[in-house]
Amino acid sequence: MPTITIDGVAYEVEQGRNLLESCLSLGLDLPYFCWHPAMGSIGACRQCAVVQYQNAEDTRGRIVMGCMTPASDGAIFSLSTDKAQRFREAIVESLMLNHPHDCPVCAEGGECHLQDMTVMVGHRARHYRGRKNTHRNQYLGPLINHEMNRCITCYRCTRYYRDYAGGTDLAAMAAHDHIYFGRHEDGVLQSEFAGNLVEVCPTGVFTDKSLVHDYTRKWDLQSAPSVCTGCAVGCNTIPGERYGRLKRVHNRFNAEVNGYFLCDRGRFGAGFVNSDKALEFPGLREADGRYRALDHHEALHRMTALCAAGKVAAVGSPRASVEANYLLRLLAGPDNFAPGFSDAEQDLAGLALRLQQQSAALVPDIRTIESADAVLVLGEDVTNTAPRIALALRQSVRNRAYELAAGLRLETWQDAAIRNLAQQQRSPLFIAAVADTPLDDVATRRMSLAPAQIAALGLAVAAGISGTAGDTPDAAPDDPAAIAAALAGASRPLVIAGTGCGSAAVMEAAASVANALCSAGKQAMLCLCVAEANSLGQAMLAGPDAPDLGELERRAREGQIDTLVVLENDLYRRGNRDRVDALLANCANVIVLDGLDNATTSAATLALPAANFAESEGTLVSLEGRAQRYFPVFQPREERRPSWVWLLACLKELERPEVHPLHHFDDITRACAADVPALAGITAAAPDLHYLNLGVKIPRQPARYSGRTAMRANISVHEPKQREDEETALAFTMEGLNRTQPGALLPWVWSPGWNSNQSLHKFQTRAGGPLKGGTAGVRLLQPGAALARGSTDTSASAAPESGNPAGLWQLVPRPRIFGSDELSALSPGLAELVTPAFIELCPADADSLGLASGDGVEVGTGLATLAVRINATMTPGCAGYSIGFEGTANLAPLARVELRRAPNWQRAPQLIGSDRGTGAGGSHV
């Protein structure tokens, strides 16, 4: 390790880091703006200036930029010398020339990196007396607010948006001190990851629009460590609450999962928590069909009575916690517990689990995905099913650039230099999908294929790797040999597939490719995406023999079910409406626990208000098999209770012996771990209730949380006692220590002098490195440990089929990041971005049906009637549909259906620009 001298003190630093990183890692405060731990250095802001001395005799030294200077052995620096300090102060003074000083009305105030750095360099007096530049702000969509006057031109936004996330519609424009960061015209930012601008911007140019409209300072937010429920990736989040409302979601750093970035579904998709559709009281359906509100005591008695009376079956949910599902499974018994997937998805989710358990390939976390140097994606549109993985793939294709950089001995943090060196050279990324995907721009090749053809391609690639490709005709247009060669020639090849395209054959083919690579001696990676936050956990809990919804429907029809308990699941999204109607109608009693009113709660005999993720604790198992714990951010309103509380209380009322020893949430986790072998590890997901930080619990509120005694004064001047959290290691208070606890228990980041999220480095082992308290979550799938190499079967049995039976189209899911997920689509800003449900056809197929874009098409006989989109990249014979959207529940993946022009179709009205209220110069606040 190199030794450097800073202000006369010798420090050992990590090899290959620049001076700024090294200083931050050593705990030294060196101000900066343009450098970002995930994006490296460009040397634009000149804020991290230090003085470097040539040798011990050199007393003058020269100013160098910390972020652009390697911390090489023997180097001598000074941070504190007057020359360096005055220079850093001059930089802030220059940045402040045009800054509006509008901190009191700025949404960034109180967590503004510019404020922090201004204080840090000691800039107080303003000498400039010229006019300030002012800019026109833009409408950037419903999620992000734009206030260009605050800009200090650090270039982080465009570097993130364009270079890191691959966006094209945000750019630096104009020159000198007129630089403008925006779009070429007002409009919605197109990147699925635009929301990270809010955290990347060191001041208040890009702010969270929902927060701006419903504002709370960071110091007044009550927060808890949480896990995103938007998809199965399991990104770590920090939701913030005030007055019982969820105000915003920030990224919670996890070195192995989301790092510094979330997708927009995750960041802006939690607004459903504040929905006025939230159930607040238990409801019992009266004879006239209306619901009577009950208190929780009566509700519990009713629930217990209904469950005691007869044969109970239950439907769990892949969006509910492991613990709640486990208790539900106890209540109904494993034979009567359906995990709550749609019938098609249940097999696929089980297959995803089995293939990963049986493969010798490594199941990668997100950081490991970024290290892949050749990638094959089969069938899965990850940007729309597991978005954070798409952002990771955009980094993986840069491994070619890092190889080139190593050849010139360029350090990895030399971001601009490496991009200039590599230009368009990228590591191989092959995508086979039914149509275009948002990753096509960085793909070596993207092939439009029907699911069966994708599976066949995968098998051909596997055969090519194994050297058994003899009888495959070379003329295959998709050139599996080239893909096989690229994967086999890589040192860290990765294969991605998933349940997203609805095909078991595709997933099996992906596993075959990974297994073939393992057999060829490569440490291959296999990533299989599933749909929901706990899909994999649910597959682990339910096991392969659990009944599916179709089976329950049959049993109900045969009178085998008296009471059906549905946990956090709108069954009308899971299957054909008629069959769900039949299932619910054939059960005498239907108990539904859920957070929001939906079609299933409206069919319940007894509806119980279940706390959402921000009001309760639970464990979720992500697609990589990482069990992670989320914690309540605030107390549920009125009679809302976490599902596990309802279920545990019911089981206790029923005097079930299994729950006798269970009192706390942690007891359920332990019981589940002991009971279900696949979930044995979940107790390690986070420390239990008894964890203390130097004798006290961890505070959800920062030390400067204000107004505690005044918040309820309009209701009563008598301040209630702070509620005690009896279930977790966190407390609803500002008293306590938030410092060195395990990463799973980090509710917010703050450090003296570092009020913004940039304070994170104070919690990391090194700037940009893992948290000091350890990375949150525990892996349940042991990476690559399942089978010895070479023993895997690479000959999956997908029967290649070609062509369509005459007049039929194959339905293929086209998931959308905004709209396919149930709850995020109900969040106000995000809901504006949800398009109407659609059927996607290639131009020739649309022509043959006489359909133009926007026309209506009837699918099958009354299955659905949807608007047509024409997509030139859609595979002929395939009809893509917006899975998860309203009106598509009757459509089953891969089904072959007739399509015909819908009679009496009314085209959707088109929003025109003036509807957006884009008044000139308006800030849209």
Which residues are near another protein by CB under 8 A?
42-47, 49, 62-64, 68, 86-87, 90-91, 94-95, 97-98, 127-130, 152-153, 155, 172, 174-179, 404, 408, 410, 414, 416-417, 420-423, 425
Minimum CB–partner distance for residue 119 and another protein (Å): 18
Q: Is the dihedral of CA 166, 169, 175, 179 positive or negative?
A: negative
What is the distance between the alpha carbons of residues 867 and 906, in angstroms, rounded to a whole number? 9
- Give 53 or 905: the residue with its C-beta nearer to another protein: 53
Backbone angles phi, psi at 511, to 5 degrees: -65, -35
- Give 160 or 881: the residue with its C-beta nearer to another protein: 160
What is the distance between the alpha carbons of residues 798 and 451, in angstroms, rounded to a whole number? 10
- Give 47 or 237: the residue with its C-beta nearer to another protein: 47
Q: For 94, what's the count of Cα atoms within 13 Å in the CB-facing half-sphere?
A: 12
In order of 362, 512, 523, 669, the CA distances from 790 in angstroms are: 14, 12, 12, 37
**Secondary structure of residue 876 in the 3-state scheme:** coil
- Give 90 or 582: the residue with its C-beta nearer to another protein: 90
Minimum CB–partner distance for residue 154 and another protein (Å): 9
CB 149 within 8 A of CB 98: yes
- Give 115 or 359: the residue with its C-beta nearer to another protein: 115
What is the distance between the alpha carbons of residues 763 and 854, in angstroms, rounded to a whole number? 52
Minimum CB–partner distance for residue 906 and another protein (Å): 45
Tokens for 111? 């967590």
Among 513, 445, 439, which residue's Cα sits nearest to residue 478? 445
Minimum CB–partner distance for residue 429 and another protein (Å): 20
The residues, any chain, with a CB within 8 Å of residue 229's CB and separated by 6 or more, are: 270, 319, 532, 533, 613, 620, 823
- Give 179 or 520: the residue with its C-beta nearer to another protein: 179
- Give 398 or 869: the residue with its C-beta nearer to another protein: 398
What is the distance between the alpha carbons of residues 821 and 263, in angstroms, rounded to a whole number? 13
What is the distance between the alpha carbons of residues 208 and 199, in angstroms, rounded to a whole number? 9
Minimum CB–partner distance for residue 125 and another protein (Å): 11
In order of 377, 381, 487, the CA distances from 430 in angstroms are: 6, 12, 10
- Give 18 or 515: the residue with its C-beta nearer to another protein: 18
Minimum CB–partner distance for residue 45 and another protein (Å): 5
E strands, 229-356, in order = 236-242, 245-251, 283-285, 291-293, 312-315, 337-338
CB 684 within 8 A of CB 672: no
How do beta strands 606-609 and 9-12 pair?
Answer: unpaired
How do beta strands 171-173 and 180-182 pair?
Answer: antiparallel
- Give 15 or 420: the residue with its C-beta nearer to another protein: 420
What is the distance between the alpha carbons of residues 201 and 140, in angstroms, rounded to a whole number? 15
694 forms bridges with which residues in the sheet?
A: none
Q: Identify the helix (H) or strand (E) that includes residue 539.
A: helix 535-542
Backbone angles phi, psi at 541, to 5 degrees: -70, -45
Backbone φ/ψ region at 43: left (φ over 0), alpha (ψ -120 to 50), beta: left
Minimum CB–partner distance for residue 152 and another protein (Å): 8
Burial of 909 (0-12, 13-18, 19+ CB in 10 A): exposed
What is the distance between the alpha carbons of residues 94 and 128, in angstroms, rounded to a whole number? 9
- Give 63 or 684: the residue with its C-beta nearer to another protein: 63
- Give 179 or 654: the residue with its C-beta nearer to another protein: 179
- Give 128 or 243: the residue with its C-beta nearer to another protein: 128
| Amino acid code (one letter) for 795 | S
Tokens for 313? 């079956």
Minimum CB–partner distance for residue 90 and another protein (Å): 4
- Give 384 or 414: the residue with its C-beta nearer to another protein: 414
Minimum CB–partner distance for residue 923 and another protein (Å): 23
How do beta strands 374-378 and 429-433 pair?
Answer: parallel
What is the distance between the alpha carbons of residues 107 and 112, in angstroms, rounded to a whole number? 9
Among 25, 20, 11, 29, which residue's Cα sits nearest to residue 73? 11
Minimum CB–partner distance for residue 156 and another protein (Å): 13
> Tell me, what DSSP letter sits at residue 368?
H
- Give 94 or 444: the residue with its C-beta nearer to another protein: 94
Minimum CB–partner distance for residue 757 and another protein (Å): 22
Minimum CB–partner distance for residue 508 and another protein (Å): 41
Minimum CB–partner distance for residue 422 and another protein (Å): 6
Helices of type H across 408-503: 415-422, 451-466, 480-488
Minimum CB–partner distance for residue 386 and another protein (Å): 32
Minimum CB–partner distance for residue 824 and another protein (Å): 36
- Give 82 or 286: the residue with its C-beta nearer to another protein: 82
CB 253 within 8 A of CB 570: no
Minimum CB–partner distance for residue 29 and another protein (Å): 19
Exposure letters 706-717 (e unless 16+ CB within 10 A, then b): eeeeeeeeeeee
Minimum CB–partner distance for residue 93 and another protein (Å): 9
- Give 153 or 359: the residue with its C-beta nearer to another protein: 153
DSSP state letters, 80-126 = SSHHHHHHHHHHHHHHTSS----GGG-TTTTS-HHHHHHHHHT----
Minimum CB–partner distance for residue 64 and another protein (Å): 6
- Give 62 or 907: the residue with its C-beta nearer to another protein: 62
- Give 167 or 609: the residue with its C-beta nearer to another protein: 167
What is the distance between the alpha carbons of residues 239 and 534, in angstroms, rounded to a whole number? 19
| Chain position carrying tokens 């001047």 | 717
Work out the number of other CB atoms within 10 angstroms of the CB of residue 495: 31
> Tell me, what DSSP letter sits at residue 751?
B
What is the distance between the alpha carbons of residues 52 and 64, in angstroms, rounded to a whole number? 6
